Chains A and B, each alone.
Chain A
Amino acid sequence: MPQLGESIAEATIVRLDCAVGAEVQADDEVIEVETNKATMGVTTLCGGVVKELFAEEGETYAVGTILGLVEATEEEIARTGVSVHGEEAATPEEPEAPRPHDYRPGEEEESYLPPKVEIEPSVQGLPVPAGGSKGAHYISPRMRARMNELGLQGADVSAIAGSGAGGRVTVEDLENFLGYIEGWPSSKASPMRLAVADAMRRSWTRPLATVGMPIRLENLLKFRSAQNPKPGLTLFVLRAFGLALRENPETAGFLVGSKIVHPKAYDIGVAVQVEDGVLVPVLRNVDQRSVPELLGDYEELVAKGREKKVPEEAVGGGIATVTNFGTFGLRWATPVPLPSETLILGMGGGEKVPRWDEAKGEFVPVLEAEFTLTFDHRVVDGGGAGLLLKRVSELLQAPEEL
C-alpha cells in the first residue's frame, strides 16, 4: 500500500482491477483504493503476471502493507529497476514492517546518529572531549544550593561516597548521609572553632609543602638564661625569622593571579593556643626592632591572646606566623599557614641527642629542636624554604645579636 498523500496512514481497497494470473504492464492501475483524502489507482511498477493478491475489496490496509506480488522477467526487472521481493513473502496477516515511507510518532529502529568519533584527550590542549564527567569533586548548582540551605561547605560532605555521575555526591546522597548521622551524639561548634575551620579550609585550597631541620639551641638557651627578664624562646625565633625574611623578601610574597605581592612590612604573628582554637596576634616590624625592644609588646600580646583579647592593631596583616608546638611535647608537626600568609614556622620541643663529632671522633650530646617550615608551594620552592630555615638557624646561633 503506497503512501498516497501526506499524513495518510491507511487506505481501503475499493476494487481489484486485476486477478491472479492476469498479465499487467508497467504503470497499469491495478487496484483502486480510497484514502481519507481521495480515491485513486495503485499502479504496478513493472510488467508481468499477477502471482498473488493478498488484498481484498472493502478491507483497509496500513501504508507499507504488501497487497500482492507480480512475477516479472529478469529483463523487465532490469528495464524498470524495481526491487525484488524476498523469499519470505509477507502476507496481509503479517504485514511487513511499515517502512520506509510511513512513520509513527515515537518509532525509530534504524540509527540516524552520526558515527561516534573517539577523541583522544591531549595534554597539548585541544581537542579534548566536550562535556562528560567533571569528577567527584564537582558540586552542581543544585547541590551547592542545598548545601547553602544547610550551611554546609564542600569539606563537610567529604565523608560522603557519591553515587552520581563520575562518583559525584548528589543531593540525594547528602540527604541520605544527613539521615544516617541523625541521632549520633553531636555538639554545637563554637564560633572560634568555626572561625579556625573556615581559615584552615581556605588555606588548604593551596598546595602546601613542609621542610624541616634540627636547629641547635645551646647558645640560645645559654644567652637567654643570662637575661633578666628572660625573653621567651619564641621571641628569638620570631626576630630571627623576621630578619631572614627581610633578606629573602620574595619568599614572603603571596600570589594573586599573575602577580606576586610583596610585604610592605615584616610583621609576624605568634600562634597562641586558647580554648577550642588558636589566636594569632601580630607583632609589627619585627625586622626593625631587637629582642629587648620587642619584649614588652610580645609579652603583652601573648598574655592578651590567652585571654582572647587581642587588640585591634595586632589583628591581621602579618606575612608569616611562628608557632611553638614544642610546648605540647611535640617534636614534629606541619602547621598550616593562615590563608592570608605564605609561611608558618613551627618549633618542636628541645631534646638532648647524640651527634657525631668528627673532630673528637665520638658522639657528643647536643641540645636541638626540629624546626618545620610550611609554605605555599606556588610562591616558594623547597630550596628557597630550606635556605630560609637555614638562615634562621644561623641567626639563632648568635642570639646576642638578635
Chain B
Amino acid sequence: MKLTINNLSKTYSNGTKAIDNISLEINEGMFGLLGPNGAGKSSLMRTLATLQLPDSGQVLFNDIDIFSNKISYRKQLGYLPQEFGVYPKESAKGLLNYFAVLKGISSKKDRDVMVDYVLEITNLVDVKKKHVNTFSGGMRQRFGIAQLLLNQPKIVIVDEPTAGLDPAERTRFLNVIRNISSENIVLFSTHLVEDVKDLCKEMTVMNSGWLAPKISPSSAIDQLKGKIWETMETEEKLDATSISYIKLSDRYNSENVLLNRIYTEERVPDTFFSVTPKLEDFYFLTLKGT
C-alpha cells in the first residue's frame, strides 16, 4: 500500500504558491509532515483529500490516479481537516450515523455496529447522546477521528489535529492515531515536532510549498550526532570566528545566560559544548536550509 506524489504543484489565484513541484512516496504506517504555519501543509492535505485540484502533477494511491478516480479513492480515505465544525443540535451518535451513510454503510444494522464501535474506540460512548457542538476541543477532535474511522480507511489524512489540545487529551488522541496506523497509511501534519518523534515511521518537513526528502525521525537525529553544539558566545562573536555554522535556536539556562544552539560540521573551540541532537534540531536545520 503506498501513496505516490509526483511533481505536484498548486498556485492560488492570488499568486500564492502553496505546493511547489513536490514528489513523495508514503508507505504503510504513520508519516509525519512537519512545517510551520503557512508552509502549505493544509493545501497539500486538502489536495490529497481531493478537495482541490492541483495545477499540475499526479497523485497515485496504489498506482491509481486519485483525481481521475475520486470516488473509489474516497471510499478508502479518512480525512480530518485542521478545522471542522459540526451541525448544531446533533448528537454524536446521530451525526456519526449521518457520516456513516455518506461513507457507504447503507445497512442500518451495520451502521449501528460501526458507530458504536468508533464511539468506543474514541471513548465517546458516554457522551454519544450529547450534542456534538457542546463538546470540548479534545472531545471534538476525537469525534473527528471517530468519523474518519467509519469507512475503515486505508489512508488517513489528519491535518494538525493536536493543535490546542491539553497534554492529556493530546496523548489520548495520539494513541488513537497510533492504533490506526498499524495497518494503514496515516499522513499526519503538525507543527509540533514532539508529535512526530515518537509516532512516525517516516517524516518530512515542508516549508513555502517545498518538501524536504523524507527520513525516519531516528535517522534524522542520528545524522546530526556530533554536529549540534551549544555556546554562550553571542552571535556577533560567532560571526567573527571562521566557523561556518547554522544557528538553530537559543535558550536561557538556569543562570539566566543565553545559550545559542548551532549546527556545524567543523571543529569548534572549547567554549562550545556538544549536546545530544533532537528532532527539533533537524526540523530547524531543514527550515533554515530552505
Bind each other: no
| Residues of B participating in the A interface, judged by any CB pair closer than 8 Å | none
| Residues of A participating in the B interface, judged by any CB pair closer than 8 Å | none
